[in-house]
Amino acid sequence: MRRLKPDIYAIGAIDWDARLFDRLIPLPDGTSYNSYLVRGSEKTALLDTVDPTKTDDLLSNIVGVGADKIDYIVAHHAEQDHSGSLPEVLLIYPDAKVVTNPKCKQMLIDLLGIEDGKFITVEDGQELSLGEKTLRFVYTPWVHWPETMSTYVPEENILFSCDFFGAHLATSSLFVDDEAAVYESAKRYYAEIMMPFRKQINSNIAKLEKLDIRMIAPSHGPVYKQPEFIVDAYKDWISDTVKNEVVVGYVSMHGSTAKMVSHFVEALIERGITVTQFELATVDTGKLAMALVDAATIILGSPTVLIGPHPSAAYAAFLTNALRPKAKFASVIGSYGWAGKTVEQLTGLMPNLKAEFLKPVLAKGEPKEADFLALERLADEILAKHKGSGLVN
């Protein structure tokens, strides 16, 4: 039995073997689908369900904590890793009402075919008494869908935040015990899922700071007994501050772009700039996304294929555009055989990137002395830009 507080239990599922979320996001450390049971003196509430593949775990955990009834099922978020078991739970607990906001209600009807009559809709700030415990619903939109909300239990000062502050991490520890591991997983989670919503996260944190929160229980990963650990990390990640870092994502077919990247990365390191280099055909996109959280500059390296960028570089540009990192500078390096529009096509894939595009460096065939000098000039320019932005002492 995993107990957070008297009569508050974690009854979700640990998915040790999951390796890809949404057929997109790598899960090197698995994940968990956290569901919580809050038992008041009069009513019992289930907060979120689990991924449909883990429904049996949830159902047996409900029985395991001795819950003989469920009055309310709070749905914080309609995505199926938290709502997918809802139809089956409602079959077994037919008197339970689904408590959620109007947007989430409509999504649950659309995605899962839940009947209209099953719902109780709640407004932002509305409370629902369970007896001596209270559920206060706090709208926290766009973390990471428009309908996302959280629940605060004022008697215990716990915030149930769903995806917000989550970490894709399978662990037997109910609470954070290895801060470094959780920080890594939470940053990966932020980078892949939350980064496009920095502005909305800022508003949501300001709203939550009005509450006296002493524990945060997210829907993925362990529970935070020190909420400031994850809240401060989020504040750092969403801030407009960038670091003296360059992300270099590249792909090379016959070695020309690889030689350029090698020379360029060495030049950046010589200038005291932190570099993270990724080979884009084999990259763990989560690692790439994490590097994009803080970097001041993004460089894509690509050969020319059928007059455009290599598809792996195009994918990285597309992903970067979707994640909307706060980088201030960007450029392209690479090679071509006879002609091409690699630079135009790559930059065209990143309209959301509010960065200054620096002069690209393209080599015709094998890079030659003039190309290496151009790469060193680009490294000089990046250093000057970073200095001008106050990133280098």
Interaction site with ligand FEO (CB under 6 A)? 77, 79, 81-82, 144, 163, 219-220
Tell me how far, at minimum, the Cβ of 81 lies from ligand FEO, in Å. Answer: 4
Peptide bond into 310 cis (omega under 30): no
Tell me how far, at minimum, the Cβ of 128 lies from ligand FEO, in Å. Answer: 23
- Please tell me the distance from the alpha carbon of residue 138 to that of residue 127, in angstroms, as a whole number: 9
Dihedral sign, CA of 12, 16, 18, 19?
positive
Cβ–Cβ under 8 Å, residues 50 and 82:
yes
Tell me how far, at minimum, the Cβ of 277 lies from ligand FEO, in Å. Answer: 30
Q: Pick the closer one to ligand FEO by CB: 204 or 244.
A: 204
Q: Pick the closer one to ligand FEO by CB: 39 or 220.
A: 220
Q: Pick the closer one to ligand FEO by CB: 82 or 263.
A: 82
- Count, residues in the chain: 393
Tell me how far, at minimum, the Cβ of 256 lies from ligand FEO, in Å. Answer: 41
Cβ–Cβ under 8 Å, residues 33 and 12:
yes
The alpha-helical segments, DSSP class H, found in 271-359 are: 285-294, 311-323, 342-348
Dihedral sign, CA of 229, 230, 236, 239?
negative
Phi-psi region of 380 (alpha: psi -120 to 50; beta: other; left: phi over 0): alpha
Cβ–Cβ under 8 Å, residues 36 and 153:
no
3-state secondary structure of 272: coil
Tell me how far, at minimum, the Cβ of 166 lies from ligand FEO, in Å. Answer: 6
Q: Pick the closer one to ligand FEO by CB: 238 or 295.
A: 238
- Tokens linked to 83: 């709502």
Q: Pick the closer one to ligand FEO by CB: 159 or 363.
A: 159
The alpha-helical segments, DSSP class H, found in 295-368 are: 311-323, 342-348
3-state secondary structure of 48: coil
- Tokens linked to 244: 């003296």
Beta strands in 172-321 (DSSP E): 215-218, 243-250, 274-279, 295-305, 308-309
Q: Pick the closer one to ligand FEO by CB: 80 or 312.
A: 80
Cβ–Cβ under 8 Å, residues 113 and 90:
no
Q: Pick the closer one to ligand FEO by CB: 15 or 79.
A: 79
Tell me how far, at minimum, the Cβ of 198 lies from ligand FEO, in Å. Answer: 17
Tell me how far, at minimum, the Cβ of 15 lies from ligand FEO, in Å. Answer: 11
> Maximum CA pair distance of the chain?
79
Tell me how far, at minimum, the Cβ of 221 lies from ligand FEO, in Å. Answer: 10
Q: Pick the closer one to ligand FEO by CB: 187 or 220.
A: 220
